[in-house]
Chain A
Amino acid sequence: MGSSEIFSRHSMFLGEEKMRLIRESSIVVAGLGGLGSVVCDSLYRLGVGKLILIDNKKVDLPDLNRQSLYTSRDIGQAKVKAAADRLADIHSYTEIITARIDIRDENALVALRDEHSFDGIADCLDNYNSRFDLENLLESEVFMVHGGVKNDFGQVTTINKGRSLRTLYQGEQDFPEIIPVVPQIVKIIGSVMTQEIVNNIFGEPQLLDKLVIFELADFSLYKQKVDLRL
């Protein structure tokens, strides 16, 4: 089983240089829920060089409607372990690092940043305060692609050092903690995030100072200008 064969269908489209950029990239995926499942699966199948998976939760029954990395056999297992096992079954050309840490634990986050280098961060978290803490991983040259979902809508944007999701979400509350969501919007927003991560890897982000807003009910898609500069 060769990597050239596994990745042949998209390398035909992307070409050698872009495949090299993907292969040499290292991405942190923060939050291995619905969005994290889609982003991990797609980045892995694209052939990114390294995925650093962060989550501190276990797989629970209500996760199975949308968290496509898991099955009923994973209930009770740490998400980082279940996700890493599932991905490793696909191929062996991506290095997987797992970190079962709480994003809100500043010391753990700093230790992770000191131990691993990475090009970008996928914010697949499920609450605003953790997202604000995740921004502590941002350094110059590192991008963060943010996604969020609720009901049947969601949004995606890119930030980097000097921009903050606080400028957009400050004032919003994290309650109720359980957010209703249908699985199909998770797949869409996760896929949009993956594309924007790839855009960033290629040095061509499309959503810097723009917010993609997708509403599934009538298939409406908008790009709204935002100013997220600090």
Chain B
Amino acid sequence: MITIKFYSLLRLLVKIEQVELELADVPISTVLEEAAKKVKTPFLHKLVQDGKLITGTIILINGRNIHHLDKLNSRVQDGDEIALFPPGGGG
């Protein structure tokens, strides 16, 4: 089971706090695609364009930004927790 949590803007968009998927040992890109199918609200365009990560939403696997892992190819295992988090950069 993989858990995907949505925060702030994304949660308000998809109107759900989290989804769970029966997946294991798949790239994060697959997890996101399956999550989008499950929540039935398009949100992938906020994260990925032309196959590349865009800024504005941080994707964490077990608290680590996938920029420091293998980006969209980062592997996700059974039991992992994904967080999708649009940060506030202002002060």
Question: Contact residues of A with B, CB < 8 Å?
Answer: 31, 33-36, 124-128, 147-151, 153-155, 167-174, 179, 181, 189, 209, 211, 213, 215, 217-218, 220, 222, 224-228
How far apart sit A222 and B68, CA to CA, in the bound complex (Å)?
A: 24
Q: Is the CB of B88 within 8 A of A148?
A: yes
Contacts of B58 in A (CB 8 A): 168-169, 171-172
> 21 interchain pairs (CB within 8 A)?
A127-B89, A148-B87, A148-B88, A150-B88, A153-B9, A154-B88, A167-B65, A168-B58, A171-B67, A172-B55, A173-B55, A174-B89, A189-B88, A213-B85, A217-B12, A222-B7, A224-B7, A225-B62, A225-B63, A227-B62, A227-B64
Q: Is the CB of A148 within 8 A of B67?
A: no
- How many CB-defined contacts (below 8 Å) exist between A and B? 99
Q: Is the CB of B88 within 8 A of A224?
A: no
| Contact with B91, one of A35, A170, A173, A225 (Cβ below 8 angstroms) | A35
How far apart sit A211 and B67, CA to CA, in the bound complex (Å)?
A: 18
- For B, the interface residue count at a CB cutoff of 8 angstroms equals 26
Is B75 positioned at the interface, with any CB of A under 8 Å from its CB? Answer: no
Contacts of B7 in A (CB 8 A): 213, 215, 222, 224
Q: Is the CB of A227 within 8 A of B12?
A: no
Q: Is the CB of A168 within 8 A of B65?
A: yes
- A173, closest chain B residue (CB): B55
How far apart sit A31 and B83, CA to CA, in the bound complex (Å)?
A: 28
Q: Is the CB of A124 within 8 A of B62?
A: no
How far apart sit A125 and B63, CA to CA, in the bound complex (Å)?
A: 23
